Amino acid sequence: MKNLRVLVFSASFGAGHVRAADAAIEALRNKEPNIEITHLDFGAFLSKTFNKVIKNTYIELIKHSPKLWGKFYHRTSKIAPDSVLQRFLNKLGRTEFVKYIHTLQPDLIICTYPTVAGVLAELRLKQVLAIPLVTVVTDFAVHSQWIHYGVDLYIVGCDDVYQGLVKRGIEPDRIRVTGIPISPKFESRLNRSDVLAKLELDPKLPIILVMGGAYGVLGGAKEVCKILAESTDPVQSIVVCGRDEKLFKSLDDITKDAQYKFLRFGFIRNVEELMTAADIIITKAGGLTVSEALTKQLPLVIFKPIPGQEEENANFIRRLGAGKVANTQEELEQVLRALISQPDLLANMRRAAEQALPGRAAEQAVEYMLDLVNAEGNQKIG
């Protein structure tokens, strides 16, 4: 019997789409060691130049004109699947996709980016594509770009998204609530004492982790670092700048003059260790970062959430009771002071985070995906 062959589409417009895809791939390989997986960047597949331009435009937009992005997000959040815009998007690269898929002949296609899911879902409805299609929703809110009736299986992060999809016409039996897939390494319980010793941090003092995303899009990250470095409360800080070299360099003086331990990193691959060490995380509200922090039972403070999907994700965290939102430096200082001075408040947030997600998200998602493949195979045999 031939090895199972899976085609995965993500997009580098937001690092979360790629991380969700990587998590699913990791879980698939753990389940089926001989599986053959091809992972493609949707934009780069169409055109590397196009992909670079769109990616850079998106990053600059959310960094410097977040309100403009928010307006675009909300104005397109409820457009109909048969709208002019959606019909246009569903034609992107259609011929190239069909040729490539017919050449590769996968048994399953997984999409963690909505636009490519739309293209393939329409091909599925028209019976041009005979391969089961899975879409992984990487936020805790529903946008019209995720609504595609040709998708065979939706993997979603919470019941709110499940209900939102059903209201938009997606059949309930096509949706599974597993949590957003994250790397299984976030599920592992690390020894915090060992991590603190490795980082040379004092276990008696609060530790605050600041993460600006892979591309450093946390608004006011430098101001956040300054607040922490100059805090009259004894706090230790860990700052992850991602690929934002300008931010990393701008922290030279802040790092040097900090009253307490102040660690600074660029792009790293041991986030699970830093989340184990931290008592609080200050971050952007990307779906994957939120899922990772909740899985690590780490209380979140969302600073200046970007209007649109991140604002929706921030509201989700606030409703859970697992995090706070601060829109100004003054609010951030007040929130941090309250959390540091009230251990019971922090403990309640940790408990809320612990209960927020089903757990083993990637593993559960993969089980549903493989069930879909098996069901499709049985139908063909029948």
pLDDT digit string, tens, across residues 34-46 = 999 999 998 888 7
Read off the pLDDT band of 378 (50, 70, 90): low
Residues 25, 149 share a domain: yes
> Picking from 17-31, 52-66, 107-121, 243-257, which range would have the lowest pLDDT averaged per residue?
52-66
Residues 11 and 150 placed together within one structural domain of the fold: yes
Measured in degrees and rounded to the nearest 5, phi and psi for residue 255 equal -60, -45
Query: pLDDT: is 3 or 133 the higher one?
Result: 133
Residues 6+ apart with CB under 8 A from 57: none
Answer yes or no: are the C-beta atoms of 239 and 264 closer than 8 Å.
Answer: yes
Q: Are residues 86 and 73 in the same domain?
A: yes
Question: What are the Cα distances from residue 372, in Å, to 32, 125, 242?
Answer: 15, 17, 37
Domain count, the chain: 2
pLDDT in tens, 181-221: 999 999 999 999 999 999 999 999 999 999 976 555 566 78
Query: For 122, how many CA atoms within 13 A lie in the half-sphere containing its CB?
Result: 21
Position 90 scores a pLDDT of 66
Distance from C-alpha of 206 to C-alpha of 172, rounded to nearest angstrom: 44
Question: How large a percentage of the chain has pLDDT more than 70?
Answer: 89
Per the prediction, the chain carries an average pLDDT of 89
281 CB burial (10 A radius; 0-12, 13-18, 19+): buried
The strand ranges marked E within 178-241 are 207-211, 236-240
**Could you tell me if 233 and 100 lie in one domain?**
no
Query: Do 27 and 169 belong to one domain?
Result: yes
Please count the other Cβ atoms lying within 10 Å of the Cβ belonging to residue 2.
Answer: 8
Same-domain status, 180 and 260 = no
- Looking at the structure, do residues 128 and 219 belong to the same domain, yes or no? no
Can you give the pLDDT at residue 45?
80
Long-range CB contact pairs, 304-307, < 8 A, 24+: 304/218, 304/219, 304/220, 306/62, 306/66, 306/69, 306/70, 306/217, 306/219, 307/66, 307/67, 307/69, 307/70, 307/71, 307/73, 307/74
Closest-CA residue to 209 (of 270, 157, 140): 270
Q: Are residues 365 and 135 in contact, defined by beta-carbon separation less than 8 angstroms?
A: no
Q: Are 129 and 206 members of one domain? A: no
pLDDT at 231: 87
Residue 382 has pLDDT above 50, yes or no: no
What is the DSSP secondary structure assignment for residue 4, as one 8-state letter?
P
d(CA 315, CA 83): 28
Confidence bin at 381 (pLDDT 50/70/90):
very low
44-53, 149-158, 198-207, 246-255: least confidently modelled range: 44-53
Rg for the chain, CA atoms, rounded: 21
3-state secondary structure of 213: coil
Instruction: Name the H helices within 271-328.
Output: 271-277, 287-295, 309-320
Domain harbouring 148, CATH code: 3.40.50.2000
Rounded CA-CA distance 180/291 in Å is: 7
- Residue 26 and residue 18: Cα distance in Å, rounded? 12
pLDDT at 236: 96
315 and 224 share one domain:
yes
- The answer to whether the CB of 181 falls within 8 A of the CB of 365 is yes
Write the pLDDT tens digit of every residue in 107-129: 999 999 998 999 999 999 999 99
Residue-wise pLDDT tens digits, 3-48? 899 999 999 877 889 999 999 999 999 999 999 999 999 888 876 7
Expressed as residue numbers, the domain containing 69 is 5-184+359-381
Q: In the predicted model, what is the mean pLDDT of residues 240-245?
A: 88
Question: Which residues in 147-181 are b (16+ Cβ under 10 Å) and which e?
Answer: bbebbbbbbbbbebbbebbeebebeeebbbbbbbb
**Parallel, antiparallel, or unpaired for β 153-156 and 262-265?**
unpaired
Are the beta carbons of 121 and 150 closer than 8 angstroms?
yes
> Of 267, 210, 254, 261, which is closest to residue 235 (Cα–Cα)?
261
Residue 18 and residue 49 in one domain: yes
Q: CB 98: neighbour CB atoms within 10 A? A: 15
- Residues 61 and 156 placed together within one structural domain of the fold: yes
Residues 250, 293 within the same domain: yes
